[in-house]
Amino acid sequence: MKTLYTTLFLLLSVYMNAQDAFQYFEGNQGSYSILIQKDSNSTWQIGKPHKIIFDEAASQPNAILTDTLLPYPESDTAVFQAHIANQFFYGIWAFQWSQKLNYGAGDGGMVEFKTQSDSTWSNAFTSPYVYNYYGYDSLNLDTLTNGELGFVGTDSTWKDIWFCLDASFYLEDTISLRYTHFADSIPDSTEGWMIDNMLAHITMIHTVGEEVQEEYLKVYPTPTSDILKIQTKKLDEFHVIESIQVRAVNGNIVLNHGKAPTKFELDVSGLEPGVYFVSITTNLREEVFEIVKL
């Protein structure tokens, strides 16, 4: 019974402390906790859709889309940013939005993120700091002309897209999302990208069901030729990976990574084939794992 009361208290504490941030594009954006930044002459427009596929917003009347009336122009790169303040809490940041796609060949869109302390943007599809990225049809994911993974093709039904970050890694920081629309020099008369109902939520419960992890640290797969996945057990107390060191059998450090979220992917593709020892230190403990690099 004591365990039950403790669990209920923790869930209630999470519920009372967690705050959703919204942007529904229905009125003055200052009334929303996700703030939108775009150029006044950008292809991105906030308003009521008047197109064939983009015929109405997910929650009417407005959405943000690549022109509310006309096909998007050729040879165009258009950006808008969404800014969300972290809430000095730990858990999982879950970012969600609804979208429709109608891209011609060679065109597409990409989502990136950064914090106020980051110097560069990270593609949410390829960043090792992203837990999961889902909700889209796999047919709408491909490499864009800039070499980055992004959304392509047509999806005329509203899809709820999610990706998640470890909030404890971004404690006391502001997170920004950047949505970039790319169009090549060939006119397509297509409608582009439409987004509505943006949500940022911090939670202790992951938005996708996962197996309960028994061990505190899990390192897999081994053997591996490129990516080593590192995952800590979900805990009610704050914890974060403080360092990751990979040592050869002679004791030499061959990879040295600093602070990382509690679910992380380490690129070991540059190592020579052989046996290595991975030392992972969190603020709670240190563990060492033997791996095989193919």
Mean pLDDT value of segment 267-273: 93
CB 102 within 8 Å of CB 156: yes
CB 256 within 8 Å of CB 277: no
Which pLDDT belongs to residue 172? 58
CA–CA gap between residue 251 and residue 291 (Å, rounded): 14
Domains and CATH numbers, the chain: 2-203 (2.60.120.200), 217-293 (2.60.40.10)
Which pLDDT belongs to residue 203? 67
pLDDT tens-digit series, residues 29-85: 656 789 999 988 899 999 999 999 999 999 889 999 999 999 999 999 999 999 987
